[in-house]
Structure formats: C-alpha cells, structure tokens
Amino acid sequence: MTDKQALAAPAAAAPAAPFYQAMLFWLKLGFISFGGPAGQIALMHEELVDKRRWISERRFLHALNYCMMLPGPEAQQLATYLGWLLHRTWGGVVAGLLFILPSLVLLILLAWVYIAYGDLPWVAGVFYGIKPAITVVVFQAAWRIGGRVLKNHWLWAIALSAFVAIFVLRLPFPLIVLGAGVVGYLGGRLRPELFQPGGAMPVQPLDHRPALIDDATPTPEHARFKWSSLLCLLVVGALLWLLPMALLIACYGWGGELTQMGWFFTKTALLTFGGAYAVLPYVFQGAVEQHGWVTPAQMIDGLALGESTPGPLIMVVTFVAFVGGYVLQVFGQEQAFLAGVTAAILVTWFTFLPSFLFILGGGPLVESTHNKLSFTAPLTGVTAAVVGVIVNLALFFAWHVFWPEGFTSGLDVGSLVIAGVAILLLFAAKWSVLKTLACCALMGLLISLW
C-alpha cells in the first residue's frame, strides 16, 4: 500500500475510556512504574498513546511540557493531568493517588526493615554494594539529561554556572532555579532557536489513527478555564494544607519535628524544579545538614530504595520522614514505629498536595497554550541548570561512598570496584537501573561476607 493509499484508508474508530478501566490502569501503573521519571513517562506514552489511544501524541507532549515546568515529580503530575483530562477532577485525584500509593506502602515497610535490621551483616552488605551503584546512577542522570538538553554553548554555560553557584558559592537551590528560569525566558524571546525544549520524549510522526482526545478534539467542558472553579480549588487546597498544619502546631508547637517536616517538605514541593533528581540537593541540604533527620549514608540508602521501588523517585522523602520520626522517637520510645509511619504519611501528604493543585488549577490554562515557546523556554533554562546541580550532588555522594571516613582515611577500594562495574552495566551494557542495583547489591554482599 502506498503512502497516499494509507492516508486515504478509513481510520479505526476512536476508543472509549471507561472510568473503571482507567482506574485499573492507574493502579497497575503504580505497581510497575520502575525506571525513574523517564521510564514512567515512556510507559504512560506506550500505553495511553500507542496502545489504548486515549490521547494523541501532541496532546500528551503538551501536557508533559507543562508538568516538566512545575516543581515536583513530573511523572506523577502527568498521570494526574491525563486522569483529569479524561475523567474530570476525580479522575485526576484517583490517577495521582494510585500512582504513589504502592510506593508509599512499600517504602514504609522497607524503611522499617532498614532501621530495625540494618545492622545485620547481610543487610549491611547489600547496602554496601548499592551505594556506589547509586552514585553512578546519579552521574548517569546528569549525563542523560545533559545529552537531551545541552544542545548549544549557551545552555552549557547555564549548566556550568549552576554547578559553580551551588558547589563553590553555596547559593540556595531555589535562587539558582529562579535565575535559570529567567535566563530561559529572556533567551526564548531574544534567541528562540537556542531555547527550543529538548523534551523528555521524541516527537514521533503521527500514524493518523484517531485518539479519544485527538489533536483537533475540542477542549472538554471541565477543562475550560473558569475563575470560579480556580477560586474554589484554591480554597479547598488551602484548607487541606492548613488543617493538618494547624493540628501539628497545636499538638507539638512550631518547633516540633513533625511540624518542621510538614513545613520543610511543603517548601520542597513548591521550590524544587527540573525533575526528581533536581529535588534531591534541596532535600539533602534540609534533611541532612539543617535538621539532621537522616545521615548522609542513610540519604544514599533511601535513594537506593527509591530507585528500587515503583513510583516517583521523590518518594525518597517518605523514607527520610520515616527514619526521622522513628529515630527521633517523636511519640516516645515505645511508639517509634507509629511515629515513623505518621511522619511518612504526613510528609507524603505535604509533598504531593501542591502537585494536585498545580494540575487541577493550572490544567485549564495549559489547554489554551498549545505550541507557545514562551511557555516552554524557561523550562529549557531550568533543565540546563539542573544538570550542573545533579553533578554537584553526584560528587557529594561519591565523596561519602569512596572516602566514608574522610580523605585522610584512604580510598574504599571495594566501593570503587563496584562503581566500575555499575558504569559498565549502565553505560556499556545498557542495563536498567533496577538490574544494575540488584547486581551491585549481590557484589556488595559477597565482598562484605568475604
């Protein structure tokens, strides 16, 4: 069949998307969404665009561009956006919750095992092998994002400036993100050809099969912007934040650990841009250096567990909160587990609540901004800066893994060997992160026992 005949052939009918089918899909996604944000986005693209045809390629990518501009986990926000577009507000809420619920339960259980049995030789050996692999994974994230975004010397300059700002000048992470966003916005106006978004997914040629929400499908009624709807959402969102925060202040005061966790992770949700790995430096600064909820080694272990479980990588905050609540015994020595679970659930709530508000409130505006560079150019600047920030985080991890007792204590040769294997598996053999972590965990166990 020629191309003209293919175009002239009758297209298949657009599919239906019953709510119960969508709910089952989001639940399934919550259990199988391994591989970090790139893998999760690719999985949603394959299922929703290619197989189910619930949304067209361009509508999917437009939603993705918005989610990548937001602070917080873009994959979870994309699931919320698509659920909202398909099935109104409750569709978005269900999609977003089911995306993180399996990860929340798993990380609470794994964090408890880590705290309760982490001193056992075989558990310590597993984490000994995982730490170097995680260091390489973070470097790989910088390499992957940089290869997609740093397409010219201006974007390279932004990345280098961000690295110097955080590594040398010790500037706050939100200030770096704000500066990069401003540069991206100005660059999009002055030199738009240099600030085209790289995107997390390549735009593929359309196969002309109709989708439920196609390129030319009119915006659904519920997705049209209304000031009354936005005001109502803001009021509900404010109450959902104020009520638990007021309860924490009443019970523990502003200086209480749970109150400070709620406040810090609210700021994390609002101030960290550029994807999951961009969140980690800010979380590290606050949770490790400022509040002392976890140690640097525990932070690396938490990142390893976050990489090894389904759901967004930002769920590492669940681990941080559980460990902090458990170790600090905010409910007393006899209720350490309850304190950890409470802290984990509270922190997850405060971390993800803004993501739902961003999507449900901003979605109607986004649906009217298709193909506007002024909407996406700041993202390009921010993502370029994130590359430099992630390199800084990777160097910090490397220091704690390869010289665990400081530079004067000598190099940990075992960790260096495991890191070398991880480099070969990730970069040369193209193994997945999960398979690489499993292999390095086995190596760590063998080295530890030996």
| Complete DSSP assignment for 116-129 | HHTTSHHHHHHHHH
Residue 21 has pLDDT above 50, yes or no: yes
Q: What sign results for the dihedral spanned by CA atoms 338, 342, 345, 351?
A: negative
* 215 part of a folded domain: no
Domain membership of residue 210 (yes or no) is: no
Candidates 277, 301, 274; CA nearest to 288 is: 301
- Does the structure show a pLDDT above 60 at 371? no
Number of domains in the chain: 1
Phi-psi bin for 70: left (phi > 0), alpha (psi -120 to 50), beta?
Answer: beta
With a cut of 70, say whether residue 278 has pLDDT above it: no
Asked whether the beta carbons of 316 and 305 are under 8 A apart, the reply is yes
Helix (H, G, I), strand (E, B) or coil at 379: helix
Q: In this structure, which amino acid lies at residue 241?
A: W
Domain residues for 75? Answer: 19-199+226-449
Residue 217 lies in a domain: no
Sequence letter at residue 132: P
Exposure letters 235-245 (e unless 16+ CB within 10 A, then b): eebeeebeebb
Query: Quick check: is 325 in a domain?
Result: yes
Quote the CA–CA distance of 162 and 176 in Å, as a whole number: 6
Task: Name the band, by pLDDT with cuts 50, 70 and 90, for residue 2.
Answer: very low
In a domain, 419, yes or no: yes
Q: Does any domain span residue 433?
A: yes
Token readout for 404 is: 């665990």
Decide if 212 is inside a domain: no
pTM beyond cutoff 0.75: no
Query: How far apart, in whole angstroms, are the C-alpha atoms of residue 201 and residue 49?
Result: 12
- Whether 163 has a pLDDT exceeding 50, the answer reads yes
Is residue 201 within 8 Å of residue 44, measured between CB atoms?
A: no
Lowest mean pLDDT among 91-100, 208-217, 357-366, 429-438: 208-217
Q: According to the model, what pLDDT value does residue 329 have?
A: 84
Residues 161 and 393: their CA atoms lie apart, in Å, by 15
Separation of alpha carbons 438 and 129, rounded Å: 9
Residue 423 in domain: yes
Beta bridge partners of 273: 71
State which amino acid sits at residue 359.
I
Q: What is the biggest distance separating any 2 CA atoms in the chain, rounded to whole angstroms?
A: 74
3-state secondary structure of 314: helix
Angle at 152 between CA 149 and CA 155, to 5 degrees: 60
